[in-house]
Structure 1
């Protein structure tokens, strides 16, 4: 579909994004048009209704499209627009997950994971049918699109796909119990915001009981709107908390750099300094110090990545 659209759009003045090959944009002095393609589903956004109409005619001539009208439902995402901004959720998808797991009538949980839970790939009875667990975790990972608060536990449980055990399934059902409490929970993107990128990065040092790898977590905001987040296990075992902190900060910086490149690609100027917040003063001191000592030289590459790209600030984890 993307290749067909490319051949169709060349004479129409559209530009294919280098940061997201499924995105096509066209900007003139007065209008901006964006087209996003996912297999045979297409989204169109513009500040001109006439530009949208013209684009629909062009696409219909080539592909005989079905016009679904204003965006309300797309790939499991429910979208609601107002003067205040755009709200996204996956309520229908969440309820379907609960129904498939026979948990529609379950008691809601206050948190997505028991804070005292210590999951291991060696403890617990192996599941006879691991496909059920794998399907459930895959569905929960897709729910992360609008529910960032289940990202950590969802990615943690995805580490046990090869040989899932009963405690892993119980933890996955705990996520569903948490979702039951607020199936309509989602994201809000305000129409009135300051174009300023701010990110927060943190790490849980040596958190994996099997490999002693650290867990990185970050979130990126444009203004007050959350636009990107992730939680994943670091590929390298860190020998100190500061090393793991700096690796987490470097990962967050890479995400910010991609986001800035994406904004440039769609001709959106971002002049303010990008901010990265961390709760560790020592990591910030290393970022500001150009002299590498024996104990920190093994993270020199990450230090340069962070220092050259981002302004570092301290934030307390406790009020």
Structure 2
């Protein structure tokens, strides 16, 4: 994707220079996107959404019923499953695609890691778990919070993004800041406030 890791912060990446620069900060289940030009940020979000849609299509769930969570409560998968085996190659493709997707959807890392344990002999039970994840992705394609600068300065409380922006000469400009929160929660507070 052409991103360069910050030498000052391991969870911050940059693509482009000057007015075309785009910064992406990753913190637990958040993805913070900052750029001088809003169209660059929109293009990045569209790239990620398009990839997620391709993964859903790969799983054959284009018009699926969405799921509100990536897994069922107390789901227990086993290597000793007696369920019918499925095409291992297709299972590998789906798991690999989901593993790549966890770079921008870090809240999926645990469940994707869990289903990755069954690559040798995947069964319909394991494939159902993948389909549940894909249904969740379909539900959350457009989740995100948009913070536009009205007045005053914008501060960060979760990562020192302001320091990184200053080091890369991006500063807080009139351009908006995007925060993609991957896990919707009524008790969560936004990581960035004005």
TM-score range normalised by the length of the shorter chain: 0.5 to 0.7
Question: Rg bigger for which structure?
Answer: 1
Distance of aligned partners of 1:106 and 1:23 in 2 relative to their CA distance in 1, 3 Å threshold: closer
1:45 aligns with 2:3: no
**TM-score (norm. length: structure 2):** 0.56
- Alignment pair present for 1:95 and 2:68: no
Q: CA RMSD in A?
A: 4.1
Cross-structure match for 2:155: 193
Tell me the SS of whatever aligns to 2:117: helix
Q: Is the 8 A contact 1:146 1:186 kept in 2?
A: no
Instruction: State the 1:136 CA deviation.
Output: 0.1
Partner residue, 2:27:
none
By how many angstroms is 1:147 displaced? 1.6
1:294-315 alpha-carbon deviations (Å, 9 max, x no partner):
xxxxxxxxxxxxxxxxxxxxxx
Cα distance in 2, alignment partners of residues 173 and 146 from structure 1: 19
The runs of at least 4 aligned residues of structure 1 exceeding 4 Å deviation read: 22-25, 79-84, 186-191
- TM-score (structure 1 length as normaliser): 0.36
Gaps of 5+ in 1: 1-21, 26-34, 37-42, 50-69, 73-78, 197-220, 226-262, 268-316
CA–CA separation in structure 2 for the residues paired with 1:185 and 1:169: 25
Q: Distance in 1 between matches of 2:121 and 2:146?
A: 37
Q: Quote how far apart the aligned CAs of 1:149 are.
A: 2.3
Decide whether the 8 Å contact of 2:77 with 2:125 is kept in 1.
Answer: yes
**May I ask how many residue pairs the two structures share in their alignment?**
141
In the alignment, what sits opposite 2:100? 142
Greater fraction of residues in strand: 1
Structure 2: unaligned runs, 5 residues or longer: 8-12, 23-32, 169-186, 188-194
Any idea what SS the aligned residue of 2:57 has? helix
Match of 1:114 among 33, 51, 72: 72
Mapped partners of 1:112, 1:24: distance in 2: 31
Determine which structure has greater relative contact order: mean sequence separation of CA pairs < 8 Å that are 6+ residues apart, divided by chain length: 2
Q: Secondary structure at the match of 1:150?
A: helix
Q: C-alpha distance in 1, partners of 2:108/2:6?
A: 31
